[in-house]
Structure formats: C-alpha cells, structure tokens
C-alpha cells in the first residue's frame, strides 16, 4: 500500500472539490485548478476529506496512487494559500527588475534578458541597498511555478568558485577552492 496515496487530503473552508468522470476540479479563494486522472482510480469526497483508491496492486497503479494524491494535495494548497518561490541574483552588476508580467535581468551578458511570465504567475523583484536582488514568484499552480523558476535559474546557474548566478533563497552551494588550493 502506498504510504502517501492512502493518506486523506483535508479540504479547508472555502474550497470546493468536484469530481467528474476523469477530471477533478478544485475551486478556492485564489482561483481554480483541474487535473485529469486515470478513470480506473476512484476519488471520494466525504467529511471534508478527499480519499483516493487504486483498482489493483499492479506496479503502474501503485506508482500513480501516490502521484495523484500529491498532485491533488498541491492543488488544494494552491487554491487556498498559494505557492511562492524566491530566487537571489548574486553577482556584481547583476540586476533584476519586474514590470507587470515582464522580468528584466542583467546577468553580465552583452544584452538584458526579458522574460514574459505566464498569466498565472505573478513576479516581483526587490533590490535593497547593499544586498542582492530577490525575485519572488507566486502562483496557485505549483508545477508551473517550478518550471518558471527553473527556466529563470537556467539563464545563469550559480558557479562553484565565487557563487555568482541565480540561486534559490536558502539553497546551499558546494563551493570549490580554485587554483590557489593546488599549491
């Protein structure tokens, strides 16, 4: 039995869950999300909880059991509280500016990089004196938020010698010593 899949998902107040043939729709104060699932799985909504039952103990069904539970839980949290990710731009002369749905990054290249955010993702960039710019991404869709954050990070990954680049706030980087350590 899947340890994750058998856990019930609590439904907070102001969140509505409807299950159709092969789609689950979660509505909350922040928005609405839907997810398709295998119709052989049974999803029950009772006593302010969502329970998922798998049809058999086949390997495919066992692996999907925990996946569907995690996806639905992320949807419930997303429409009730929302998800946020913060990234730090480390480096001399590196800048980040948010203007509506556009994020402008100066990362040491010969040109600025302008990224247009999907409509579901809100972006803010804060630059305080004597500190690195911090990009904050918020959304109700955890999957989309992770993809956008990974795309931004891929523009200038943190390098291991000085740590310059775009990193997640709280991320620990493995640093290397460099040439002087060989002597």
- Identify the pLDDT of residue 18: 93
Between strands 134-139 and 165-168, the pairing is unpaired
| Whole-prediction pTM | 0.89
Residues 161 and 97 placed together within one structural domain of the fold:
yes
Domain boundary pick from 32, 54, 80: 80
Q: What is the CATH number of the domain that holds 146?
A: 3.90.930.12
pLDDT at 9 over 80: yes
Residues 70 and 127 placed together within one structural domain of the fold:
no
| Pairwise pLDDT comparison (2 vs 168), residue with the higher score | 168
Residues 66 and 121 placed together within one structural domain of the fold:
no
Domain boundary pick from 30, 50, 80: 80
Cβ atoms < 10 Å from Cβ of 179: 7
Cβ atoms of 2 and 65 closer than 8 Å: yes
Using pLDDT thresholds of 50, 70 and 90, give the confidence band for residue 161: very high
Measure the CA–CA gap between 109 and 94, rounded to whole angstroms. 10
Residue 103: strand pairing partners: 98, 115
- Identify the pLDDT of residue 4: 84
Using pLDDT thresholds of 50, 70 and 90, give the confidence band for residue 103: very high
Structure tokens at 140: 């109700």
Percent of the chain exceeding pLDDT 70 equals 97
Would residue 175 count as lying in a domain? no
3-state secondary structure of 172: coil
* Domain of residue 95, residue span: 83-168
pLDDT at 182 over 80: no
Would residue 114 count as lying in a domain? yes
């Amino acid at each position: 039995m899947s340890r994750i899949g058998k856990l019930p998902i609590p439904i907070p107040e102001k969140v509505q869950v409807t299950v159709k043939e092969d789609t689950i729709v979660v509505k909350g104060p922040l928005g609405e999300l839907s997810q398709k699932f295998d119709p052989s799985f049974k999803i029950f909504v009772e006593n302010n909880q969502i329970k998922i039952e798998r049809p058999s103990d086949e390997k495919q069904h066992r692996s999907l059991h925990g996946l569907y539970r995690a996806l639905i839980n992320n949807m419930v949290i997303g429409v009730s509280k929302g998800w946020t990710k913060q990234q730090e731009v480390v480096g001399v002369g590196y800048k980040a500016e948010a203007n509506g749905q556009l994020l402008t990054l100066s990362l040491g290249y010969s040109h600025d990089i302008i990224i247009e955010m999907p409509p579901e993702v809100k972006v803010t960039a804060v630059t305080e004196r004597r500190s690195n710019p911090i990009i904050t991404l918020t959304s109700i869709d955890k999957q989309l938020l992770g993809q956008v954050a990974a795309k931004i990070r891929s523009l200038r990954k943190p390098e291991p010698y000085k740590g310059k680049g775009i990193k997640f706030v709280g991320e620990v980087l493995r640093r290397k010593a460099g040439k002087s350590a060989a002597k």
